[in-house]
Structure 1
Amino acid sequence: MPQKKPAKKLHELAPEVKAGFKIDDISKRTFIVGKQFATGGFGRIHTCTEQGKSQEMVMKIEPSTNGPLLTEVVVFNRILKKEMIDTYKKNKKIQWIGLPHLIANGYFTYNSEKMRYMIIPKYAMSLEGAREANGGKLSAKDSMVVANCIIGALEYLHDSDYAHADVKAANILLEKQGVYSTSVLVDFGLAHRTTNNVDKPDKKRAHNGTCIFTSTDAHRGNNPSFRGDVEILAYNLIMWISGTLPWLALESSPDKVFEAKQKFVAGLPGTLQNVLTSQPAAVTGCISTMFDVSMKTQYKDKVDMEKLKKVVAGAIQSASGAVSKESKTTAKTPKKVTRKAKEEVEDDVDDEPKPKKKVETKSEKTKKTVRPKTPKRIETEEDEEDEMELPTSSTNGKYKDESDEEEELIPRSTTRSARAAARSQPRPQPSIRLGVTTSTASSSRAARKIEQKYKRLSTNKSSLVPVSIADSDDDDDDAPPAVSTEPSTSSAGGTKRSSGGGGEIALKTPALVAPAIKKAKYKSGISSATKASPTELRRVPGVRNFPKGRRTMLIKETTTKYQEKRAATETNHDDSSSSDL
């Protein structure tokens, strides 16, 4: 007996069509095939353009014997022509609907093989691509916005007596990247006309569709139904928001997936809340309502889409409010914490409010007494019993403000009211301590020690601290010299204090310091070897009182000077020794 020829496969993948191939439409339009960018079912998906135009479109190509693209072409020709969609939008008084329209379709021959093609508008990207780019999830708000678009698209299909049967992220396209409010439902390869539906399962049709999303009707073997589309959308929402499904690992076993779905639906709403933890109640309630409406609708009946639109709108509003509330809380929290911390610092640490800055006139500035910062103690090698404190300047060369000194006199533990009362009371003016002395001799000795200290640490006028010894009006050697802080141009603005003797102690400006010290002829008391050594000179008491930059410069200049002197002395000594020989 002759052997029978093997039966031809029902569906075959279309041969690849090269870019640039031209297809003539029955309406005498010419379309140019572009690059292939995807495959769908048993067809290939290319970009294409109409000859003479630059706008890109999408062309689906399959062998003419294949069924999926034929089903799509029939659906587009029956209900998805542009004029049909425009009429529906006008009757419903809506501006937009998430469905594509048919541009062209027909047949062409390529390498002696008959091919079918269909052309629809081109969109930016798929929702599945957006979900994967976002880590496998979508926000509750974005998911509900997409659901709102899909419900509108399903309403149009159901009003036209068609069920889609394959709602999923891969079959939803975005007109613009990142914009979910204009999502479009595509791919009608499994779409079914429901006019002849009978609630009679057929095992040959069992589990038809995308297994993890398909409806329980489809698992049983029923034809696609209106209620099945809503159930499928509910499964998708769980996947988009949570990134998973309880039966995702069972995808290769359709019977187990069907069993898991039945248990999940029977356990609602608790099973749903276990998956969508920490989601707004309106979101979980919306998805639960979708399941409820789907299960309570009869197999052949249409779904109450108006009810679903309302719950979806409420979920969008709730999800939007949750997002905005979270963002506001995140934005405001640091400010509140910072303000609170600032108040705590002001109350617990500073205790007293900062005094307001007073605008001073020129005369007031002239009369104002210069106040030194917290004095530093200088110990001399000659007399450690007499303690002296000299005013030291800050890094910017300014003294502490008078108001700061007054605040330091008030204990920190005092309450605000007590501090305010204390500040209102007149306070004695603090004096500049240049030595605690009770006699003319001791005052003179203190002044001499100051002169000696700064004489031996100073090598030029620019490095001197503003302290100098002025000649006393009295010729008596026992009378203490005067120390002045008073500017050279003003004799009445400074404050002079008596230390128990006939001399007056005050601080002079740097311009008057150098000449006074230059006249002094006291011996330093520091050896030349110490002055020539930076390390040793740095250890000398009183050197640390100089600001860091000035101290470094002073040590460098002093050591350089005395090192040169020592070198010159050694050279002269060597020369004299050799001449003696």
Structure 2
Amino acid sequence: MPPKARAAGKGRAPAKRKLAEEFPPGEVLTDTGKKAWKLGAPIGQGGFGLIYLADENSAKPVDADARYVIKVEPSENGPLFSELKFYMRAAKPDQIQSWMKFHKMKNLGVPRYWGSGLHEKGGKRYRFMVIDRLGTDLQKKFEECGKQFPRKLVLQLGIRLLNILEYIHDHEYVHADIKASNLMLSYSDPNQVYLVDYGLAYRYSPDGALKEYKEDPKRCHDGTIEFTSIDAHKGASPSRRSDLEILSYCMVQWLCSQLPWEDKLQDPLYVRDSKISCQEDISEFMTKCFSTQDKPDEIQKFMEEVKSLGYQDTPPYDKLRSILQAGLKTIKSKDDGKLDFAVVKGAGSPRAQKTPKKRKVENEDSETDGSPVKKKTVTNKLELNGVKKGRPKKVKNTVGRKQAYPKSRLVDVETQTSPGVAQKSRGRPKKTSN
């Protein structure tokens, strides 16, 4: 259960989680399937763990072009344990491959899970997970482009994210924290994008039983404040419509540089009420964000379709994709498979830069372009009602399920039970996930 929000002005005790010690290159970790993995240089750092280049164990050292990374954190911490639940149930290579084959897709932007386990050293136990290595995140690209993406690129990203969300939704999960810093390009193919950081992933339909709508005041505003859904603002568990609402806010921001409520992110009630007003009159919301000649009608249609969904409804993924594809036709373009991050003419103009200075959006874990990174000092930020500006808080996942599609045998995560802390405290600095 997430911690109770505190009144503004009251301090919060620091999280009692241990930081992972850095392992030397060449350290060998053995997963639950008895497969040995060798660590290379650390290339990323999260709030409570490190990310290392990795490869299958051999006499050779792990080189800079390693295909895998390993996330490591002390076993008593909860964040990686929570994320691991999703990966083991929905991201095995054969599952992803079967889905792609069935839907005649060449790529699906979900990182593949290759193994996990516990490692002991110096009398301490560490949890680790092996997944695909990825490249840079889209938040960096967004800033490089003057905080504005080309319309074609936004529509392409929207279509790809619909494919990803349809996959994870069919496997009974929702992501709940979609944003540019949680989207990463493939390490080997800059035209492929992956949705990462499943620490907030929620099992909305365990064994096919849909969760009912229920507001919990202790869970209000979970997620990343500027993008999180109205349901989350009210304390309800995330749903499929929540993911799509979050995606719509992302697409609007990518197109016009900033959302209307980004000037008061320190006030979660203001942000919530602004989103409610937005959904009550989507046309007026679009007028606030775009000039008449630049208004993307397809985004308004997308938002109106999502608005019509009930909490337990299955989204019309094909219809939503067709809306975005129609938008491509409007600008006389098509999804040619290439992601062009060209700077938009006028990007970085006064309108695009009017957002007051605030923290840089980053993920729980970060990976640079293959180079070792230095550890950064974590500083505390002010919070209001327990919510730090733009910082997501992780929720505990439910445990144990059979996947929806395709059918395969579920492998136990580990022989141990969940640690006492199965969530990340709101406001901890996040770095780009792998």
TM range, smaller chain: 0.5 to 0.7
Q: Partners of 1:43 and 1:166 in 2: how far apart?
A: 20
C-alpha distance after superposition, 1:376-411 (max 9, x if no partner): xxxxxxxxxxxxxxxxxxxxxxxxxxxxxxxxxxxx
Shift of 1:8: 10
Moved more, 255-264 or 269-278: 269-278
Matched, 1:318 2:336: no
1:161-560 matches, within 5 Å, as 161-175=172-186, 179-180=190-191, 182-195=192-205, 196-277=210-291, 284-321=296-333
Structure with more relative contact order (C-alpha pairs < 8 Å, separation 6 or more): 2
More helix by share: 1
| Structure with greater Cα Rg | 1
Q: Kindly, what percent of the aligned residue pairs are identical?
A: 30
Which residue is equivalent to 1:455? none
Provide the secondary structure at the position in 1 that maps to 2:331. helix
Between the aligned partners of 1:144 and 1:12, the Cα distance in structure 2 is: 41
Q: Secondary structure at the match of 1:124?
A: strand
- 1:230, distance to aligned residue in structure 2 (A): 0.3
1:118 aligns with 2:129: yes
Partner-residue secondary structure (3-state), 2:113: coil
Instruction: Measure the CA separation in 2 of the matches of 1:175 and 1:318.
Output: 29
Deviations 1:302-338 (Å, cap 9, x if unpaired)? 211111110111122333549xxxxxxx9xxxxxxxx
- Measured after TM superposition, the shift of residue 300 of structure 1 is 1.3
CA distance in 2, matches of 1:190, 1:279: 38
Contact 1:165-1:192 at 8 Å conserved across structures? yes
C-alpha change, 1:143 and 1:11, in structure 2 (3 Å) is: farther
1:533-564 per-residue CA deviation (whole Å, 9 max, x = no partner) reads xxxxxxxxxxxxxxxxxxxxxxxxxxxxxxxx
- Residue type of the alignment partner of 1:285: D
Cα–Cα, structure 1 residues 110 and 253, in superposed 2: closer, same or farther, change >3 Å? Answer: farther
Paired residue secondary structure (1:224): coil
Inter-CA distance 320–58: structure 2 relative to 1 (3 Å threshold):
farther
Within the alignment, does 1:63 sit opposite 2:74 as a pair?
Answer: yes
Contact 1:17 1:110 in 2 (8 A): no
Structure 1 residues 70 and 160, CA gap change in structure 2 (3 angstroms): same
Distance of 1:57 and 1:279 partners within structure 2? 45
Q: Which runs of 5+ in 1 are unaligned?
A: 1-6, 323-329, 331-581
Say if 2:137 is the partner of 1:136: no
Q: CA deviation at 1:103?
A: 1.1
Equivalent residue for 2:30? Answer: 24
Tell me how far apart the structure 1 counterparts of residues 81 and 53 of structure 2 sit (CA, whole Å).
Answer: 19
Kindly indicate whether the alpha-carbon contact (under 8 Å) linking 1:10 and 1:65 is maintained by their aligned counterparts in 2. no
The structural deviation recorded for 1:178 is 8.7
What RMSD, in angstroms, separates the aligned Cα atoms of the two structures? 2.5
Deviation at residue 241 of structure 1 after TM alignment: 1.4
Counterpart CA distance in 2 for 1:219 and 1:42 is: 26
State TM-score, norm by structure 2: 0.67
1:21 to partner: Cα distance: 2.3
How many residues are aligned here?
A: 315
Change (3 A) 1:101 1:246: same
Cα distance, 1:80 vs structure 2: 0.9
Paired position in structure 1 for 2:94 = 83
Q: In the aligned structure 1, how far is the partner of 2:220 from the partner of 2:83?
A: 21
Contact 2:33 2:115 in 1 (8 A): no
In the aligned structure 2, how far is the partner of 1:320 from the partner of 1:115? Answer: 53
| Letter paired with 1:288 | Q
SS of residue paired to 2:23? coil
Whether 2:138 is the aligned partner of 1:127: answer yes
Amino acid of the structure 2 residue aligned with 1:293: E
